Amino acid sequence: MTGRWTRRIGVGVAVLLALVGGVSCGDIEPEDDTDVQLDDSYGETAPGEMVNVEAGPFKMGSEAQDPSFSFDQPDQAGFTDERPRRIVTLSAFRIDRTEVTNAQYRACVADGACADPVLPASRTRPRYYIEGLYNDFPVVAVTWDQAAAYCAWAGKRLPTEAEWERAARGNTDTRAYPWGERDADCTLANIAVPIDEAVDDGTGDVDYDRVDNCKIDTTSVTDFAYAPSPAGALNMTGNVAEWVADFYASDYYDSVAHPDNRRNPTGPETGRRRVVRGGSFGSPAMTARVTFRESRLPTSHSTDIGFRCAADGE
C-alpha cells in the first residue's frame, strides 16, 4: 500500500498534530522513530451500501423563528440562512447508508485515485487513519476536493445539499432530527450535550461553551443504527459533519434571488465556500438539526468533517 502516512512518524509530527489538528500536546504520546505501515485489513471497502430515496417533493428548510425560541428548544429554531421553508422536488437518487470510512478511503489511496487525508489524526487519536482499529470509523481531515475525488473513484458523487436534507428528513413531516422530534441526546447521536450546570443561569438558556461530548471523538459509522433517517441512512446527525456538493450562499433559499432553487437544486453556480451538513461529535443539538447549514472553504479540513457519497437513482 502506498501513501504518505506510511513514511516515518516521529515526535515532530505529533507536535504538528497538536498545533494544527486541535489536539493538545498532552494528549499525544511521542512516537518511536520507526516505520509505520497502514493496516492492510480494509474491512468493508468501496463502493459501500446505499439506500434509495424516491422521487418527489419534500419541505426543505425552517420556518421563521418562534418568538418563544430558546437554544434548549431547537425544534423552534430557524437561522436566517435556513429560511424560508419551501417545497423542493427531487428526482430519485441513492445515498450512502454510512459515512465513508477510513478503510474505504484507504482503498482509493491504494488505487492511486485519492490523496491521503491532510492529517492522520482524529480529535484524540494521533494514528487514527493509520491503525486498523478504526477501519470502520469515518475518514476525517479531508478537503472538499478530496471528498469529491473519492466519490468519483467509487462511481458516485457528493450529494447536493437538497439531497442530503431529503435523505436526513424524509418527505412526510418537518422533523428536526433524522429520528423525529425527540430531543437529541447521547442515546440517539454522537453529539455534544449541555452539562447540567450550563442551563442554571436563571434564564433557561444554554451556554454552549460548556458542553459534554457524548463520545469526545468519532465512533463507528454503524453506531446508532437504531436511530436511522427515514431513508435508512445512519449518523446524519452527529459523528462527523459532512461535505456536500453545493457552493454556499446565505440567501439561496430565497426563490426571488434564486428562482431555480425548487426543482433538483444544485446550489449557486459559483462561490468561495462549500456547504457542510449534519453536525459532529462536537456539535450541540441546535447545530445538529437536519436543516442547519454550515460552510467552509473547500481547501480547509477538520477532524470533525467527513462525507458520504450519492448517485442518481437506478
pLDDT computed for residue 199 by the predictor: 43
**DSSP-derived 3-state class of residue 217:** coil
The three-point CA angle 58-286-224 to 5° equals: 75
Q: What is the mean pLDDT of the chain?
A: 82
Residue 77: which pLDDT band, with cuts at 50, 70 and 90? low
Cβ(268)–Cβ(160) under 8 Å?
Answer: no
Q: How many helices (H) and strands (E) does the chain have?
A: 4, 11
When mean pLDDT is compared across 31-35, 46-50, 103-107, 277-281, the lowest value belongs to 31-35
Helices (H), 100-250: 102-110, 144-153, 161-169
When mean pLDDT is compared across 21-25, 94-98, 115-119, 183-187, the lowest value belongs to 21-25
d(CA 272, CA 275): 10
pTM value is: 0.82
pLDDT computed for residue 293 by the predictor: 96
| Structural element, H or E, at residue 13 | helix 11-20
Tabulate helix, strand, coil % of the chain (nearest 5): 20, 15, 65
pLDDT at 240 over 70: yes
> Quick count: other Cβ atoms within 10 Å of Cβ 35?
9
Longest dimension (CA), the chain: 60
pLDDT at 184 over 80: yes
> Quick count: other Cβ atoms within 10 Å of Cβ 196?
9
pLDDT at 290 over 90: yes
Higher-confidence residue of 39 and 183: namely 183
Cβ(281)–Cβ(240) under 8 Å?
Answer: yes
pLDDT at 63 over 60: yes
pLDDT at 225 over 90: yes
d(CA 137, CA 224): 13
d(CA 106, CA 97): 19
CA dihedral sign of residues 275, 249, 72, 168: negative
What superfamily in CATH does domain 1-314 come from?
A: paralog of FGE (formylglycine-generating enzyme) (3.90.1580.10)
Residue 29: which pLDDT band, with cuts at 50, 70 and 90? very low
pLDDT at 96 over 50: yes
Residue 155: which pLDDT band, with cuts at 50, 70 and 90? very high
Beta bridge partners of 157: 310
pLDDT at 197 over 60: no
Q: Which three cell numbers stand for residue 255?
A: 426563490
**DSSP-derived 3-state class of residue 56:** strand
pLDDT computed for residue 218 by the predictor: 97
Residue 274: which pLDDT band, with cuts at 50, 70 and 90? very high
pLDDT computed for residue 314 by the predictor: 81
For the chain, the domains span: 1-314
Q: What crossing angle do the helices spanning 102-110 and 144-153 adopt, rounded to 10°?
A: 70
pLDDT at 8 over 50: no
Beta bridge partners of 192: 213
pLDDT computed for residue 195 by the predictor: 53
d(CA 195, CA 285): 12
